[in-house]
Amino acid sequence: GQQLNQSPQSMFIQEGEDVSMNCTSSSIFNTWLWYKQDPGEGPVLLIALYKAGELTSNGRLTAQFGITRKDSFLNISASIPSDVGIYFCAGQSGTSYGKLTFGQGTILTVHP
């Protein structure tokens, strides 16, 4: 099935460093969402973006909805060990009853 192109696939960083990951698509989306998934659990919503160009923060997390509506990025500042997990972007078009199209995920490892 179609998936978004998410990069990088994995990141190994030191505690306190900033992290940036992004997602691109060949299709336009009306909504971009960023989720975090821990092993054996379902995805948990971090940030939702609804307008092109929108920049939204949630604590140490900042995400932006690209102007072309075909991309989004997520930044995590001052990483901490509990940031470890898999981060997924997801796009939602206005034409398909709300189904989400997900990226392949970015595996984040934070070394204390």
Q: Which is nearer to another protein, 77 or 100 (CB)?
A: 100
Q: Which is nearer to another protein, 12 or 97 (CB)?
A: 97
Structural contact between residues 34 and 22, judged by C-beta atoms closer than 8 angstroms: no
Of 25, 52, 38, 16, whose CA–CA distance to 84 is shortest? Answer: 38
Structural contact between residues 100 and 48, judged by C-beta atoms closer than 8 angstroms: no
Nearest approach, Cβ of residue 76 and another protein (Å): 19
Counts for the chain of helices (H) and strands (E), in that order = 0, 11
Q: Which is nearer to another protein, 39 or 59 (CB)?
A: 39
- Interface with another protein (CB under 8 A): 1, 3-4, 6, 30-31, 33, 35, 40-45, 48, 50, 88, 90, 92, 96-105
Nearest approach, Cβ of residue 36 and another protein (Å): 11
Nearest approach, Cβ of residue 105 and another protein (Å): 5
